[in-house]
Amino acid sequence: MQTKPRFRFLPSPLHSLLLFTVWLLLNNTLAPGHLVLAAFFAITIPLLTSGMQDPHPRFHRPLLALRYVLRVLGDIVIANFEVAILVIRPSKHLNPAFVAIPLSITHDLPITLLASTVSLTPGTVSAEISEDNKWLYVHVLNLMDKDALITLIKQRYEKPLMEIFECSI
């Protein structure tokens, strides 16, 4: 499950691609000089930092990941409307709560992604992870049904992440 460098001079191809794109976006250009500079950064920075990387699960199924990103972006829009309505309504209707969500997902990177998604989407902010990485504590702005919320997060966000990273249960 862990990443092994497949090519000696390109230890993490995805990071290289990311660096290349981000450099071009930063400069808002496709000029040949910047292409060369971006390629230089994309090759040297992963080489210099490869020793510092923690092993993390390999990234499988890019199409599923794309679908996940699009779904989260859509959910962010919906969550925005919901929170906006809750903010405008008088606060006495609010029903805030702390909820502990049991995690089936393992490894730091997928858990971080799940916690960030949970903070951005359904009226929840992730607050803490238990030391054994088995429970995610979230604060809910307006709790309707605790079990429904846990099922929603597990089905809608955790399951696709587990498939993307192919974490075993």
In the bound state with other proteins, the residue whose beta carbon lies nearer, of 1 and 69, is 69
> Which stretches does DSSP call E strand in the chain?
97-102, 124-129, 135-140
Write down the least CB distance from residue 11 to other proteins, Å: 22
In the bound state with other proteins, the residue whose beta carbon lies nearer, of 149 and 164, is 149
CA within 13 Å, CB half, 123: 24
Checking phi first, is residue 93 left (phi over 0); if not, alpha (psi -120 to 50) or beta? alpha
Asked if 109 and 65 count as a contact pair (C-beta separation under 8 A), the reply is no
Asked if 2 and 109 count as a contact pair (C-beta separation under 8 A), the reply is no
| Residues lying near other proteins in the complex (CB under 8 A) | 22, 25-26, 28, 76-77, 79-80, 83-84, 86-88, 91, 94-100, 115-117, 119-120, 123, 125-132, 134-135, 137, 139, 141, 143, 146
Write down the least CB distance from residue 124 to other proteins, Å: 8
Write down the least CB distance from residue 140 to other proteins, Å: 8
Write down the least CB distance from residue 4 to other proteins, Å: 27
